[in-house]
A and B are shown apart, each in its own frame.
Chain A
Amino acid sequence: MKIRNILILVLAGVAIAASISGVFILDETQQAIVTEFGRPVGKPRVDPGMHFKVPFIQSVQFFDKRYLEWDGDVNQVPTKDKKFILVDTYARWEITDPLQFFIRLRDERSGQSRLDDILDGETRNAVASHELLDLVRSSNRVPEVVESYMEELEILDSIMVGRGKIEAEVLAKANERTSDLGIRILDFSSNA
């Protein structure tokens, strides 16, 4: 009698634990992969709502589904004409392939640090291979001048590439290097 009671209690406890462990809820902002003893199983779960897995054996790794921010370190970088400028960079990125992301980088923090390496490096390359004026201006637009005596002061050296294009270049190069990480970088801006 007593043993039976205990058995029932234990079974009930296990059942509750199993149902809790077998269910997980995905938020609108999340995506997840299910792993079995550390090995990814099945397709990534991207739809929000209730999801099921094998209790105890499988575990869940959550990743963010939203656009994430990356804010680079403010850094002094020499340009091609050997002027030092403070460059503040930031980017948006998202995890496009959680499985690949999990395999290559495991979690978001290592993702951020990988982005640090890639984007900081590419930024430095881009800054070092362009002149200051190219990094500041995006176009060769003719400035508006009111005072006629200022006219000769306002004539600007024309630029070859321009900030917008440099940013696009960095973005393209960085995306090339992150293509196998399950990451897509959306936008990259540098503030000189």
Chain B
Amino acid sequence: MHHCHVLAMHRPMEELEELIRKLVEFVRKHLRRVLIIAFVLFTLLTAVKTIGPEEEGVVLYLGKYDRTLQPGLNFIIPFGIEKMFKIPVQRQLKHEFGFRTETAGVRTEYGSGSYEDESSMLTGDLNLADVEWVVQYRIVDSYKYLFRVRNSEKTFRDMSEAAMRKVVGDRTVNEILTVGRQEAASRVEFRLQEMCDEYQNGIRVDQVVLQDVNPPETVKPSFNAVNQAQQEKSTLINQAESEYNQIIPRARGEAEETVQLAEAYALNRVNGATGEAARFNAVYEEFVKAPEVTRKRLYLETLERILPKAGNKIIVDEKGNNVLPLLNIESLKKTK
């Protein structure tokens, strides 16, 4: 048992030494062959290039553009005489501004970092807005992309930032937040493509998509309060309007009624008065014709009107020489 253990301890070390010794011996023996194999391997590595289906290879021969290679297995002259750059021309690439995708997936996670220096910008009405957007683009001309502009990616980012700032600077904060989003995005797209054409950086802008556009973090509560106030305002207006609709028509109806009543009363009075005046005139005319008769008639008519109202009255003859000096009006009334 003990013996075995010691052996197990020593064997790996010994084996390794043995292996190295053998390798050195082998190399010494076949030095030329090893060198040739290494040389061939190196040559193959620098000469054989595979290009993926979405890529194309731009080949420089002694620093000068020579040809563009298509996807598949390709060969170039080795040892740095020809150099190749792979450019993914078929792939749609994108740049994110104001945020970063951490892990894309069904539920994409976003980096929690703040990129305010990118996203915070001044609007035309001198408000700050936090604008996040995505630029989707493709490299359509790999030669121009590689050799026209140094640091193309950074340049492209700078360009799209400038385009966005310029467009946002020409719009009100309300437009950027609400109605003008689509219009602003397409304007940026247009401007950015214009700049790309000017620089000839070989990039075609596919789409500019506005993501979250927010008022800055510190302003958000106030902004929400304003929105809420606006909503409250419209609720109050609606309420007031419904109350108005209830009360005002009724009041109007009442007013109309009162006016009509008053008018009817006035008409009544005037008619009555006119009638009375006409009657008086008629009487007066009769009176002028025969004053005595008329006076008597008036007297009688008046008495006729008054006596029934007089009630239980006994009228006694002044001289009292009658058997029954009594005029019984009550009974007269009854018989009538």
Contact = CB atoms under 8 A, between A and B. Distances in A.
Interface in B113-172: 117, 121-126, 146-151, 154-155, 158, 161-162, 165-166, 169-172
Interface in B70-127: 117, 121-126
B63 A145 contact: no
Nearest to A147: B230
Given A66-B147, A90-B158, A146-B179, A133 B126 contact: yes
A189 B170 contact: no
The DSSP consensus for interface residues of chain B is mixed
Nearest to A47: B64
The DSSP consensus for interface residues of chain A is mixed
B287 interface: no
Contact of B63 (A25, A133, A154, A164): A25
Interface stretch (A10-18, A33-41, A135-143, A177-185): A135-143
A25 B62 contact: yes
Contacts of A64: 150
Interface in B154-194: 154-155, 158, 161-162, 165-166, 169-172, 174-175, 178-180, 183
Contacts of B199: 67, 92, 186-187
A137 B169 contact: yes
Nearest to B195: A187
Contacts of A66: 147-150
Contacts of A27: 60, 63
A29 B147 contact: yes
A161 interface: no
A28 interface: yes
A26 B63 CA distance: 6
B292 interface: no
Interface residues of B, number: 42
Given A67-B199, A143-B175, A144-B180, A163 B166 contact: yes
Contacts of A141: 170-171
B150 to A, nearest CB: 4
A116 interface: no
Interface residues of A, number: 45
A1 interface: no
Interface in B219-255: 230, 233
B155 A192 contact: no
A192 B150 contact: no
A62 to B, nearest CB: 11
A129 to B, nearest CB: 18
A3 interface: no
A67 to B, nearest CB: 5
B65 interface: yes
B62 A163 contact: no
B301 interface: no
A156 interface: yes
B162 A136 contact: no
B148 A156 contact: no
Interface in A55-90: 64-69, 71, 74, 85, 88, 90
A121 interface: no
B149 A67 contact: yes
A186 B155 CA distance: 13
Interface of A: 25-30, 47-50, 64-69, 71, 74, 85, 88, 90, 92, 132-133, 136-139, 141, 143-147, 149-150, 154, 156, 163-164, 186-187, 189, 191-192
7 contacts: A26-B64, A49-B62, A67-B201, A143-B180, A149-B230, A154-B174, A189-B166
Given A66-B147, A154-B174, 13 more contacts: A25-B63, A27-B63, A28-B60, A28-B146, A49-B64, A68-B150, A69-B154, A69-B158, A74-B117, A137-B170, A139-B170, A154-B125, A191-B162
5 residue pairs, one from A and one from B, having the closest CB atoms? A189-B162, A48-B64, A49-B64, A27-B63, A66-B150
